[in-house]
Amino acid sequence: MTEDPPVYDYVVIGGGTAGSVIASRLTENPDVTVAVIEGGPSDVGRDDVLTLRRWMGLLGGELDYDYPTTEQPRGNSHIRHSRARVLGGCSSHNTLIAFKPLPSDWDEWERAGAKGWGAVQMEAYYARLKNNIVPVDEKDRNAIARDFVDAARTALEVPRIEGFNKKPFHEGVGFFDLAYHPENNKRSSASVAYLHPVMDERSNLTLWLETWAYRLELNGTRAEGVHVRTKDGEEVLIRARNEVVLCAGAVDSPRLLLHSGIGRRAPTWRHSASPWRTICPGSARTCSTTPSR
């Protein structure tokens, strides 16, 4: 452990979809220092990652945690849960379908208790997205998918939709919008849209790449930092003056909480010898915010 732990105003755990956006927003203030902890490498200059049509080649590869699920008594067992270990997270790994919920969905969520998630409020946030969200270009439309769209339109007598995000609709069929650049088939992932334009310009942004976060540093009920292991095997405590922001995804966020003593005292989890293979079969809903120690 280093004698003088590095200290930042904010420590963002996870350089994926959420972490890229949060780090970009926070570092707009030049007086705020931010560290991003990402378990994978950079996506800069990697055509295998940045070219959208090559997404299937990433599944199960070196940039995929490829988590398995445990056997379930009522089926759906042994599903491969693909999670990316690369800057941009799953937005550097998946097909980047960008589908805005219908206003009725937003309003239903708000009525269920998600205050501030109504259609009017969320439309303003959608307009602020920096990703290039556009309909699939004609040259990228698969022939089989075209036939499927035409068959569905004819059989169900529903309109063909060009651009699902343009305006609300009740029924229809068409090609999803994607977050990409049609002219060269490059991704408009979270990292491309939010970090690439600023990562070499903002001295207040530090990327800890290929660095594994394995335990939060707690002072009572407050997280003050995170213990990490670098690609060279060095163990470092990275401290936060203001906040630790955990956005490591639906699997690794609860895993880190559990390993830090937050959640059930005796959670059901298992892991193999590799730190990359720690598996929490549950979801974030199984973890409370009350330390168990």
For residues 236 and 246, what is the distance between their CA atoms, to the nearest angstrom? 17
pTM, two decimal places: 0.85
pLDDT per position as a tens digit, 15-59: 999 999 999 999 999 999 999 999 999 999 999 999 999 999 999
What is the reported pLDDT for 291?
Answer: 31
Looking at the predicted structure, is the pLDDT value of residue 290 above 90? no
What is the reported pLDDT for 203?
Answer: 97
In terms of Cα–Cα distance, which of 128, 133, 122, 119 is closest to 176?
A: 133
Pull the structure tokens for residue 200: 């070499």
Q: Domain segments of the chain: what residues?
A: 7-75+197-286, 145-175
Q: How confident is the model at residue 3 (pLDDT cuts 50, 70, 90)?
A: low
Pull the structure tokens for residue 168: 């609300």
Pull the structure tokens for residue 63: 């940039």
SS3 at position 70: coil
pLDDT per position as a tens digit, 138-179: 999 999 999 999 999 999 999 999 999 988 888 899 999 999
For residues 35 and 208, what is the distance between their CA atoms, to the nearest angstrom? 7
What is the reported pLDDT for 292?
Answer: 31
pLDDT per position as a tens digit, 59-116: 999 999 999 888 888 888 888 889 999 999 999 999 999 988 888 899 999 999 999 9
SS3 at position 7: strand
Report the CATH superfamily, name and number, of domain 7-75+197-286.
FAD/NAD(P)-binding domain (3.50.50.60)
pLDDT per position as a tens digit, 228-280: 999 999 999 999 999 999 999 999 999 999 999 998 776 454 544 333 333 33
**3-state SS string over 83-140?**
CECCCCHHHHCCCCECCCCCHHHHHHHHHCCCCCCCHHHHHHHHHCCCCCEEECCHHH
pLDDT per position as a tens digit, 181-236: 999 999 999 999 999 999 999 999 999 999 999 999 999 999 999 999 999 999 99
What is the reported pLDDT for 252?
Answer: 95
